[in-house]
Structure 1
Amino acid sequence: MSASQTGLLAGLLLALAAILGGFNGFLLALVLGALGWLVGAVVSGQLDLSGLLAGRGRG
């Protein structure tokens, strides 16, 4: 299992543990799952956010 898949699974499990049931629970699980995948993809090197996080610089 890759780091992005592990992150996705962790995000989904945390969402289910935090709130159970209803449409709001579904949305929270979806958002936390996507966030978990994003963190896992960055950690494993599949996604590079250096362009977004780097400043424009001076002058």
Structure 2
Amino acid sequence: MSNALIGMIAGMALAFAGYFGGFGAFLLVAALGAVGFVVGKFLDGDLDPGDFFRGRDDRRGRR
């Protein structure tokens, strides 16, 4: 599935949530979509959980 198609589906889901559920539903769908995106990146191996828990010095290569 292409990124354009995934983006279109996500946009349509946000549009339906905004139209039928109001702004609160729009924000909820957007937040859960962001969580799903991050979980998907973890499962694909593109993100390392340690990236969120390391100190600043570890990211620069200093210890």
Aligned to 1:57: none
Give structure 2 stretches of 5+ with no counterpart.
55-63
Identical-pair percentage = 40
Q: What are the superposed Cα offsets for residues 18-55 of structure 1, whole Å, 9 maximum, x if unpaired? A: xx51000000000000000000100110111214346x
**More helix per residue: 1 or 2?**
2
Runs (5+) with no aligned partner, structure 1: 55-59
Normalised by the length of structure 1, the TM-score is: 0.52
Misfit runs of 4+, over 6 Å:
none
Larger Rg: 2
Q: Distance in 2 between matches of 1:35 and 1:24?
A: 17
Structure showing greater relative contact order (alpha-carbon pairs closer than 8 Å, 6 or more residues apart): 1
Letter in 1 for 2:50: S
SS in structure 1 opposite 2:48?
A: coil
Q: How many pairs were matched up? A: 41
The answer to whether the aligner puts 1:25 opposite 2:32 as a matched pair is no
